[in-house]
Structure 1
Amino acid sequence: MVSGIYSCQRNLAEITELIHTALLVHRGIVNLNELQSSDGPLKDMEFGNKIAILSGDFLLANACNGLALLQNTKVVELIASALMDLVQGVYHENSTSAKENHITDDIGISTWKEQTFLSHGALLAKSCQAAMKLANHDAEVQGMAFQYGKHMAMSHKIHSDLQPFMKEKASDSTTFNLNSAPVVFHQEFLGRDLWIKQIGEAQEEGKLDYDKLRETIKAGQGVTSAIDLCRYHGNKALEALESFPPSEARSALENIVFAVTRFL
């Protein structure tokens, strides 16, 4: 044990990061059907896709090998179920991605939270639970670790979704996800018909003016509601940490929560 951390727990953290990185690499695959001539030669994109697939698979293979070396069937089961959740979550995200004319599917915030937990929260939640299992803690402690990981991941995702709406005017010319938390809240408050109308009004020559749409969303209740939800999950994560004795590790975990729930 080093600094209160078992070597198997450290190995688990590395495995979790390998899986997360593999997912990011696989998500970097380019849809060749959407390429334009200005994007570069098709053969370069095809080669990049092949490298992304192979690199992601290599990382996943190493993660699986590391899991086997832990020699704990319960931990393997937890991480395997997290991988299943990830695949299911990404599938749902793709099925509700922006379609023709930049119109998203009609999903409410409750559906968004379910999908986001699968694609962004399950891995951290179950990894935290598995870390407690490796230290032979009981089911109650494992449950609290799961709750911390779940709410921490949700808070972090909402914080990331909010960034395009929190930046200063001079630097906010970037696009944003039309299925992000502030947008889903905005659509839920506004209603489907008005939301479609606003998207139509933000289009110029067939292209969506994200700056205009961003200002429309910021004028509504979507951003403030997303901030409230981010803080709610942050508070839930802090509540879960109260089950653990005071320590430097607990303080570090609390500071992570503070970092993603603090807004200027």
Structure 2
Amino acid sequence: MAARARSGGTLPSSLGPCPPGDWSRRGFVYDSRNNLQMRGLVVLLISKAAGPSHTTENSLQKDMSSGIYSSQRSLAEITELIHTAFLVHRGIVNIGELKSSDGPLKDMQFGNKMAILSGDFLLANACTSLAHLQNTKVVEIMSSAIGELVQGIYYENSNLAKENGLTDDIGISTWKEQVFLSHSALLAKSCQAAMELAKHDAGIQKMAFKYGKHMSISHKLNVDIQPFVKESSNDSAAFSFNSAPVVLHQEFIGREAWLKQIKEAHGKGNLIDYTKLQDAIKAGKGVTSAIDLCRFHGNTALEALECFPPSEARSALENIVYAVTRFS
């Protein structure tokens, strides 16, 4: 079984040369401040970790560079295109909620049009590139991921309307289902599709899907937990009523008690004292339970990697899990 604790760690020294027209490796991974294109990087790493299948034809192996097929490199780009398209679409502003102080209405309307057109353009390019892979199974897998993303964003938008303090009475199981749709489905199915492109069997595809799903859920849990473990994050911008610690806290104390705590946190002008709410959640079991859940999903992702032979790429995938389950 894979180790459960490890410090440091590096990415593989090489993912192979980028073919003409691809992003440069340096820009693909790091821009001196932030890690970029995480989903595409994971697709490349899991492709390299799995390598070719035992049934791969010699003609396909000739198309391999540094342990990764060109079709898998294209899939990594497609994954990033889909993710970016939905990020752009998420930038659409609800005109009905705007105030005069927010700026000219025409500017907002123009911005919305640009967001819709730009997102649609990226998504169309991604679909065209998918067709060029000439693999109907991969097209089916990635199409279902796009459909689940749309469904996940619908849930997100319906929850945003309740950010004033009245949240849905959902349990952590429902929260995980919604997070899978909006955050995990794309990566999980991209990892599965990468295995399909290399002609790996259903068992390997299932493990790749499992890694992508549980690693991304673990990452989302880590993001949700940060406002409760960092002193500098005690503000309204960092606090979300639909984050995992809040959902778990509500589940533990009950709906009525949670609504009472929200009511008690309202101050002058009906403004919510988020620091007071955070303190109430920290005093309960929500944060510690979310940390435990994060590590559970991280360990499940590590277990999925055990089907791959030891390699630099597998170590990098493990290190990603260690990074998103660390709270020191």
TM-score, normalisation: structure 2 = 0.77
In the alignment, what sits opposite 1:206? Answer: 270
| Structure 2 residue corresponding to 1:172, chosen from 234, 238, 241 | 234
Residue 120 of structure 2 is aligned to residue 120 of structure 1: no
Q: Which SS does the other structure have where 1:102 is aligned? A: coil
Q: Report how far residue 101 of structure 1 moved.
A: 4.4
The AA in structure 2 aligned to 1:259 is: A
Q: Report how far residue 140 of structure 1 moved.
A: 0.6
TM-score, normalisation: structure 1 = 0.95
Relative distance call for 1:171 and 1:93 in structure 2 (3 A) is closer
| Structure 1 residue corresponding to 2:123, chosen from 52, 55, 60 | 60
Q: Which has the larger radius of gyration?
A: 2
Residue 88 of structure 2 is aligned to residue 47 of structure 1: no
The AA in structure 2 aligned to 1:90 is: I
In the alignment, what sits opposite 1:236? Answer: 300
Relative distance call for 1:164 and 1:255 in structure 2 (3 A) is same
Higher RCO (C-alpha 8 Å, min separation 6): 2
Deviations 1:133-178 (A, max 9, x none): 001111110111010011011101111111211212x453242221
Q: Report how far residue 239 of structure 1 moved.
A: 0.1
Q: Which SS does the other structure have where 1:242 is aligned? A: helix
In the alignment, what sits opposite 2:215? Answer: 152
1:22 and 1:227 map into 2 onto residues whose CA distance is: 31
2:227 and 2:161 map into 1 onto residues whose CA distance is: 18
Q: Report how far residue 212 of structure 1 moved.
A: 2.2
The AA in structure 1 aligned to 2:277 is: L
Relative distance call for 1:207 and 1:174 in structure 2 (3 A) is closer
- In the alignment, structure 1 segments of 5+ residues that lack a partner are none
The AA in structure 1 aligned to 2:320 is: I
| Structure 2 residue corresponding to 1:136, chosen from 174, 199, 210 | 199
Relative distance call for 1:251 and 1:101 in structure 2 (3 A) is closer
Relative distance call for 1:166 and 1:38 in structure 2 (3 A) is farther
In the alignment, what sits opposite 2:319? Answer: 255
1:13 and 1:52 map into 2 onto residues whose CA distance is: 23
In the alignment of these two chains, the number of paired residues is 263
